[in-house]
Amino acid sequence: MKIEKLVRPSVRGLKAYEAKEIPCKVKLDANESPYGYDISRAKIATNRYPDPEARALRDAIAKTHGVTRESVLLGNGSDELISCLITTFGGPVLHPSPTFVMYANIAIALGEKDVPVALNSEFDLDETAMLAAIRRHKPKLVFLSTPNNPTGNCFDAGAVLRIIERAPGIVVVDEAYQPFAGDKGYCTFLADYPNLVVMRTLSKIGLAALRLGYMVASTQIIAEVNKVRLPYNVNSFSQAHALHALKKGTLMRKAIKTIATEREAMMAAMSAMEGIEVYPSEANFIMFRVADQAAMHAALLKRGVLIKNLGAMVKGCMRVTVGTPSENKAFIKALREALGNGK
């Protein structure tokens, strides 16, 4: 029996998401926070299913956004919510390119039409092209990651709002990196746009181990997406630990500030180097262009520093995550050596 023949055609051509564990001293490849948090000592009844509605945690999250519990839906990472959204609304699924790969991967796996629209030369939205593609394809879902992964920049807010206004379907603003950005994000627009969904995750702010993402939207959208959410998708440990960590909001905000300050220092040091081009960032990572991606990746790894080679996704570019001050120093030193303009 040929198993391959049994596999859905849309899945046959996919590649599994690669998250290779490369041993290194300084790990700056996955946009994780260098700062973690104490875990909850709450007693968990291991024989019982988790609270299926995660009421306490949803209440805590709802409070931070000034909405009610019914406007919040939790996912096993925001990846799961992307999957739930596409399962609920279907395609076409439209998004700029390059961006986070899961929008396309999940759309394709589910057999939906995927419509990538190229960003302009500054990696901002090409508003004319986006609006034309929206008129032509009438997407059920548009995904906009701002700040965008892997480019690091925020999209022009006017363009984002016009896309939300003109789109015939749902527009998901993915704010995985918003805590590191200067603006306040798009939650304030939820009341104005019934087709807007704002998605967040705890993964980039020190709690990647928990796998916890959430979306904020109208109660009607939440109720529809909740129909396809698998029961008990957020386990008891993640619910308890996330609730515990959120109560330490001050600590988390301080860490986020430190990372943003470090990012600016790294950008300044990198911009002064010859042989690379550094792109603006409002996230916890920086994208930069090099002469030879593979050679740069290897040269840094030889010096103990692991960063992300963006390969064909953004030709010529690399992405480095902001770490602790000492990790960042090690990266800057290794980069200077790799470029041959240091000792």
Q: In whole angstroms, how close is the CB of 60 to ligand PLP at the nearest point? A: 17
Q: In Å, what is the CA distance from 26 to each residue of 87, 272, 279, 332?
A: 38, 22, 22, 12
Q: Cβ contacts of residue 36 below 8 Å, gap of 6+?
A: 206, 207, 209
Of 173, 161, 169, nearest to 139 (Cα)? 169
Q: Parallel, antiparallel, or unpaired: how do β-strands 308-309 and 317-321 relate?
A: antiparallel
Residues numbered 287 to 316 that lie near ligand PLP (CB under 6 A) are none
How near is the Cβ of 47 to ligand PLP at its closest, in Å?
Answer: 28
Does 96 bind ligand PLP (CB under 6 A)? Our answer is: no
Query: Residue 149 CB, nearest distance to ligand PLP (Å)?
Result: 4
Interaction of residue 100 with ligand PLP, rule CB under 6 A: yes
Q: Is 86 in the site for ligand PLP (CB under 6 A)?
A: no
Residue with tokens 């308890």: 240
Of residues 99 and 328, the one with the C-beta less far from ligand PLP? 99
Q: Which is nearer to ligand PLP, 263 or 299 (CB)?
A: 263
Q: Which of 339, 277, 331, 311 is nearest to 34 (CA)?
A: 331
Nearest Cα neighbor of 285 from 318, 316, 332, 313 is 318
Per-residue interface string for the shown chain with ligand PLP, residues 8-47, x marking contact by CB under 6 A: ----------------------------------------
Residue 203 as a binder of ligand PLP (CB under 6 A): the answer is yes
For position 145 contacting ligand PLP by CB under 6 A, the verdict is: yes
* Residue 170 contacts residue 91 (beta carbons within 8 Å): no
Please give the C-alpha separations between residue 248 and each of 69, 194, 213, 224, 335, in angstroms, as whole numbers.
20, 32, 18, 32, 35
Among 71, 151, 178, 201, binds ligand PLP (CB under 6 A): 201
> Tokens representing 29?
């490849």
Q: Which residues contact 37 (CB under 8 A, 6 or more apart)?
A: 206, 207, 244, 245, 248, 251, 252
Residues of span 148-187 touching ligand PLP by CB under 6 A: 149, 174, 176
With left for phi above 0 and alpha for psi between -120 and 50, is residue 275 left, alpha or beta?
A: left
Name the residue nearer to ligand PLP (CB basis): 82 or 240.
82
Name 114's bridge partners. Answer: 93
Instruction: Out of 33, 71, 78, 238, name the contact with ligand PLP by CB under 6 A.
Output: 78
Q: Of the two residues 179 and 332, which places its CB atom closer to ligand PLP in the complex?
A: 179
- State in angstroms the smallest separation of the CB of 275 from ligand PLP: 27
- If the CB atoms of residues 146 and 330 are measured against ligand PLP, the closer one turns out to be 146
Tell which one of 29, 32, 79, 282 touches ligand PLP (CB under 6 A).
79
Contact residues toward ligand PLP (CB under 6 A) are: 77-79, 100, 145, 149, 174, 176, 201, 203, 213
